[in-house]
């Protein structure tokens, strides 16, 4: 049997439509001891492929973490395939709130070192000594306790569009970054306060709660089954949802609505908006929040620079993409300098009850700040050199070079040299140089586009 997907994403989407069957989107995880993850992976693939399971699944010696979709009428057969493993008997399957038949377009099962990249050395603490699991009703009650600190264990792009009222939302790109930050910031509360934590499906809190107990926090609680299970219980039991906004999910939907509150802003014009999108320029792919009007203005791009690129012929775009690897950079999102509106504060841990400051800007007009002047051009290497006279310049900044002969030239700095050394920041008084495919003139002006 083939262990790979033979159909393209487009063919899959067409097939799903033709089949006309309702699909369920669900997720689950289990920590366990798996001797041979490679064999486990192959067995799962062979069991699930005939059931038309699609999704993204990670397996490791420490367990399994799965997000997938399958035809509703295969659900019980699918559950049977899980029950053949002792550690997955009676496992809770989180069914997504909103169903979308195209949430996954292929089946990918990957063997990893860990099912969640937590950066922890598990041998140094007891990973089974977890926090107390709370259902939705108990979680709500504990939220009302003034002696409680509630921490969002997810990343900034997740908590930005939806969160529990009053939660601390660490400004981090990854889970592994968040653990030491939270520990430091909350160290004074180790003994007296209830540390209440939550994440999307509960998996991150499984390990984090054990870690914080190991670090000396006395009263550690976690949301059973995460936001997904919370939402299900809130609906089933008619409780008030203290989670507001959208729950970020890692499939094509990028988020499912929990309440009608819009708690974030368009990263380009600043108006209330919680629709995530990836920049239409394939070479950029930045994940950011964009309202409908800005989507139209920028044609789905994060910046005018990317918008110009998507209008180039396809082969020129391909040439530009060559050798560029964005990786996790796309999750910089609200922190990316190319975006014209940002509301993420520079602080490490956001303050509690920091509900969004509403700010409105009507046009996406480009603003710029003077940085310095051109002082030299090296024709052989096509390198322009500037003297920084004001402010700072960073790699990934979008800049404008302007002068009577040069005209107005925009570009994003991908690499630069500061005083002849590779660097990511240039400050006042520095000589900064970078590659340019045109000659600059002495005293051409360098601006940073804001």
Contact 426, 434 (CB under 8 A): no
Any catalytic annotation for residue 301?
no
Taking CB under 5 A as the rule, does residue 280 contact Zn ion? no
Catalytic residue among 199, 205, 266, 273: 199
Burial pattern 55-91, b for ≥16 Cβ within 10 A else e, equals bbbbbbbbbbbbbbbbbeebbeebeebbeebeebeee
Name the nearest CA neighbour of 302 among 339, 252, 353, 270. 339
- Binding-site member from 266, 399, 440, 446 for Zn ion (CB under 5 A): 266
Contact 449, 398 (CB under 8 A): yes
- Reported residue count of the chain is 450
What minimum distance in Å lies between the beta carbon of 6 and Zn ion? 32
Taking CB under 5 A as the rule, does residue 306 contact Zn ion? yes
- Binding-site member from 234, 258, 302, 416 for Zn ion (CB under 5 A): 302
Sole window of 190-198, 235-243, 283-291, 396-404 interacting with Zn ion (rule: CB under 5 A) = 283-291
Taking CB under 5 A as the rule, does residue 310 contact Zn ion? no
Taking CB under 5 A as the rule, does residue 210 contact Zn ion? no
The whole-angstrom separation of Cα 190 and Cα 222 is: 16
Taking CB under 5 A as the rule, does residue 234 contact Zn ion? no
Phi-psi region of 391 (alpha: psi -120 to 50; beta: other; left: phi over 0): left
Taking CB under 5 A as the rule, does residue 281 contact Zn ion? yes
CB nearer to Zn ion: give 284 or 349: 284
What minimum distance in Å lies between the beta carbon of 322 and Zn ion? 17
Residues 391-450 contacting Zn ion, CB under 5 A: none
How many residues touch Zn ion under the rule CB under 5 A: the total is: 11
Taking CB under 5 A as the rule, does residue 68 contact Zn ion? no
- Binding-site member from 269, 309, 310, 436 for Zn ion (CB under 5 A): 269
What minimum distance in Å lies between the beta carbon of 160 and Zn ion? 15
- Strand duo 287-289 + 431-435: pairing: unpaired
Taking CB under 5 A as the rule, does residue 291 contact Zn ion? yes
CB nearer to Zn ion: give 64 or 286: 286
Q: Coil, helix or strand for 15?
A: helix
Q: Residue 405 is encoded by which pair of tokens?
A: 């002969």
Taking CB under 5 A as the rule, does residue 268 contact Zn ion? yes
CB nearer to Zn ion: give 73 or 414: 414
Name the nearest CA neighbour of 75 among 25, 29, 141. 25
| 102 contact partners, CB below 8 Å, separation of at least 6 | 13, 16, 252
Residues belonging to the active site: 199
Contact residues toward Zn ion (CB under 5 A) are 266, 268-269, 279, 281, 284, 286, 291, 294, 302, 306
């Amino acid at each position: 049997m083939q262990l790979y997907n033979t159909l393209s994403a487009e063919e899959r989407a067409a097939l799903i439509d033709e089949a006309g069957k309702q699909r369920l989107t669900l997720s689950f995880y289990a920590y366990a001891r798996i001797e041979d993850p490679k064999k486990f992976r192959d067995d799962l693939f062979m069991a699930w492929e005939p059931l038309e399971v699609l999704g993204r699944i990670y397996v490791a010696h420490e367990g399994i973490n799965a997000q997938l979709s399958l035809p509703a009428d295969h659900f019980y057969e699918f559950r049977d395939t899980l029950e053949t493993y002792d550690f997955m008997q009676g496992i809770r399957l989180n069914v997504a709130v909103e169903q979308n038949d195209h949430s996954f377009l292929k089946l990918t099962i990957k063997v990893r070192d860990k099912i969640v990249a937590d950066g922890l050395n598990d041998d140094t603490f007891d990973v089974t000594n977890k926090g107390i699991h709370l259902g939705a009703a108990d979680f709500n009650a504990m939220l009302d306790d003034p002696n409680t600190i509630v921490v969002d264990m997810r990343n900034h792009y997740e908590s930005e569009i939806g969160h529990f009222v009053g939660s601390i939302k660490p400004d981090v790109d990854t889970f592994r970054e968040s653990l030491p930050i939270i520990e430091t910031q909350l160290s004074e509360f180790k003994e007296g306060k209830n540390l209440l934590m939550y994440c999307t499906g509960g998996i991150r809190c499984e390990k984090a709660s054990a870690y914080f107990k190991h670090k000396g926090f006395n009263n550690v609680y976690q949301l059973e089954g995460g936001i997904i299970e919370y939402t299900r219980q809130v609906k089933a039991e008619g409780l008030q949802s203290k989670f507001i906004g959208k729950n970020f999910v890692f499939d094509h939907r990028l988020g499912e609505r929990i309440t009608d509150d819009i708690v974030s802003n368009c990263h380009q014009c600043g108006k209330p908006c919680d629709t995530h999108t990836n920049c239409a320029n394939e070479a950029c792919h930045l994940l950011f929040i964009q309202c409908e009007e800005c989507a139209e203005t920028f044609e789905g791009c994060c910046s005018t620079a990317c918008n110009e690129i998507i209008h180039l012929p396809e082969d020129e775009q391909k040439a530009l993409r060559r050798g560029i690897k964005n990786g996790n950079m796309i999750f910089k999102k609200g922190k990316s300098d190319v975006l014209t509106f940002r509301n993420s504060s520079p602080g490490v841990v956001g303050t509690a009850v920091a509900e969004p400051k509403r700010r409105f800007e009507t046009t996406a007009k480009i603003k710029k700040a003077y940085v310095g002047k051109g002082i030299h051009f090296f024709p052989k290497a096509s390198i322009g050199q500037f003297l920084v006279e004001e402010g700072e310049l960073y790699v990934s900044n979008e800049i404008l070079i302007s002068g009577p002969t040069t005209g107005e030239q925009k570009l994003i700095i991908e690499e630069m040299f500061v005083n002849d050394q590779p660097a990511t920041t240039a400050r006042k008084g520095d000589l900064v140089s970078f590659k340019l495919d045109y000659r600059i003139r002495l005293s051409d002006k360098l601006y940073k586009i804001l």
